[in-house]
Amino acid sequence: MFSKLSKAISIAVKSGGGPNPEENLKLKVAVDAARSANMPKENIDRAISRADTEAANLEEVTYEGFGPGGANIIVEATTDNRNRTVQEIKQIFDRNGGNLGTPNSVAFNFDVVGMIALSKSVSENDEQMLKLIDIGVEDIQSHDDGVIVYTKVNELNSIRHKLEENGFEIEDSNIVRRPKSTLNLDDASLDKLAELIEILEEHDDVHQIYTNVE
């Protein structure tokens, strides 16, 4: 996990706009993710300081495909060998009831947005829900473990600061791909999809997976 997080930090410095998280949103998101995973500060600082050398041969790649039951899947990875990674990802799809698609075969069904996960207490307080609207979030989604709010990508950092200033407890924040429409699968297909995603997550180059399954 720390190795994947270090890659994400290094590539964020390289492609996001420098080593200052306050000026580089992509880096801030990567650093926040590392902190949430309890990655030691010295590891984070080392990944930032070594970005020029460690990220020199790294590039971000995105793969699109279909899983069991027709599920849309997007896989984001960081690699130093594009040909090797695409062959390995293709094999994982082929061996687990899926198939790798072409560019934009499923990406059209996802919006890139800012996501902030709030603690469960928010969903139990109507006054706080109204305050979220006043703060300027784009959308609010309640679930069993709390509340997720969505923002424009360029407003993620400012909305997060406003939430913190208003006393909201933030559990996670990131730039994500949100499906425009979702799909319900039967239990058998859902189990197969979960197995495919688990195997993809174990790949060293993969750092994020998205699906449109409800």
* CATH number for 25: 1.10.10.200
Query: Does one domain contain both 141 and 171?
Result: yes
Query: Does one domain contain both 117 and 200?
Result: no
Tally of domains within the chain: 3
pLDDT tens, per residue, the chain with 214 residues: 888 888 888 888 887 778 888 888 888 888 888 888 899 999 999 888 888 777 778 888 999 999 999 999 999 998 989 999 999 999 999 999 999 999 999 999 999 999 999 887 776 667 888 899 899 999 998 887 788 999 999 999 899 999 999 988 888 888 999 999 999 999 999 999 999 999 999 999 998 999 999 8
Query: Does one domain contain both 90 and 150?
Result: no
- Specify the residue for token string 């930090």: 9
Query: Does one domain contain both 101 and 187?
Result: yes
Query: Does one domain contain both 175 and 191?
Result: no
Single-letter amino acid, residue 98? G
Query: Does one domain contain both 114 and 67?
Result: no
Query: Does one domain contain both 116 and 146?
Result: yes
Q: What is the pLDDT of residue 13?
A: 86
Query: Does one domain contain both 114 and 136?
Result: yes
Whose CA is closest to 73, among 90, 88, 85? 90
Domain of residue 100, CATH code: 3.30.70.980
Query: Does one domain contain both 171 and 187?
Result: no
Query: Does one domain contain both 117 and 170?
Result: yes
Q: What is the pLDDT of residue 124?
A: 62
| Domain span including residue 17 | 2-54
Residue pair 30/12 in contact (Cβ under 8 Å)? The answer is yes
Sequence-separated (6 or more) residues with CB below 8 Å from residue 180: 109, 110, 111
Q: What is the pLDDT of residue 115?
A: 94
Q: What is the pLDDT of residue 40?
A: 92
Residue where a domain terminates, one of 34, 54, 74: 54
Query: Does one domain contain both 68 and 81?
Result: yes
Residue 139, H or E segment: strand 139-143
Residue pair 210/67 in contact (Cβ under 8 Å)? The answer is no
pTM over 0.95: no
Query: Does one domain contain both 172 and 118?
Result: yes
Kind of pairing between the strands at 146-151 and 139-143: antiparallel
